[in-house]
Amino acid sequence: MPEQLPDQEHDYKRLRHKIMGYIVAQAIFAVTETGIVELLAAGPAEVGELARGAGVDADALGRFLRVLVAEGLFSEHPHGTFALTPMGDYLRRDRPGSLSHLVTLMAGEAYQAWGMASHSLRTGTPAFDVVFGEPMFDWLAGHPEKSDEFDRAQAGLVAMRMMPLLEWDWSRTRTVVDVGGGNGSLVAALLARNPHLQGTLFDLPHVVKAADTIDRCTMVGGDFFAEVPSGGEVYVLAQILHDWDDHSAVRILRQIATAMPASGQLLVLEQVIPDDDARHPEKLLDLHMLILLGGRERTHSAWRKLLAEGGFQLTDVRRYPRSCLLVATRS
């Protein structure tokens, strides 16, 4: 076999690492789910002490941590003592900007669905339906414990991404409708920060039924493909439209356009895929939406086109570190 050149060896190793990337992701999930990260939040600890505290095997833990030290999430000190790095600190559940919720979402059913990624490549339809026998939201409705877990994880992600909505000037608004608002964490935060606001939380009946009571907020159960509560001054769609293909997303938008007064405003909290060939998390998330739901992330031009087809004119796009806020009015 011909000897490989240094550049070829470098590319070979990089490609091997990418092919085995799911091992890194699942190792992150394992040390997060077993509480290792939270134990290290208190400070550096020896591997045996960590293993006893978490109830795991010390030898196996050392091997897991060795992989994640190389990934920059932990650092290793003499005598088998480990500590969180600044990157690994984002795995703590209690820190601002925590990614622990994302770790949970990317494991479990999502991980299983990715085993059939080639189905989505061949057909353009979600692999989740093939693996679990029905669409993801239908499956969640039939598995209440998983639905609760999903809602909690989504609430955690919303907490990280809602800053554009919290910073929006609500002083001239009296009523806000959160469409597909899940357990109500977003609208609750808006109402707590703006005491003059009245809110409506709209989602599937079983989702709204499980939500906590929120002061100054009306709970409405229904199907946003059929009808949306009318009369709100501002309608919010936070991480909803990326769950759906363009045809379905347009159906949702048209229901909102019908329900909204001519003077109303639509705020869409989503990601916007950059128009370049660089690596970016939104490009990975775009594939994830395809595998799970048949949905997609969108570029700036794709958002403008989608909103126009749904009866809206895109008037502004505000970019933030974790999300973008698209502002639209009825066309």
Among all residues, which ones are annotated catalytic?
242
Neighbours of 122 (CB within 10 A): 8
CA distance 315 to 15: 42
Structure-block tokens of residue 304:
């403008």
CA distance 327 to 276: 23
Alpha carbon 76 to chain centroid distance? 31
What are the angstrom distances between the C-alpha of 142 and each of 147, 148, 232, 293? Answer: 8, 11, 32, 16
**φ, ψ (nearest 5 deg) of residue 319:** -95, 135
Helical axes 300-309 vs 246-259, angle rounded to 10°: 50
What are the angstrom distances between the C-alpha of 65 and each of 20, 79, 80, 83? Answer: 16, 14, 10, 10
Structure-block tokens of residue 170:
């609500």
Q: Where are the alpha helices (DSSP H) in 223-272?
A: 246-259
Question: DSSP letter string over 65-125?
Answer: HHHHHHTTSEEEEGGGEEEE-TTGGGG-TTSTT--HHHHHHHSTHHHHHHTTHHHHHHHSS
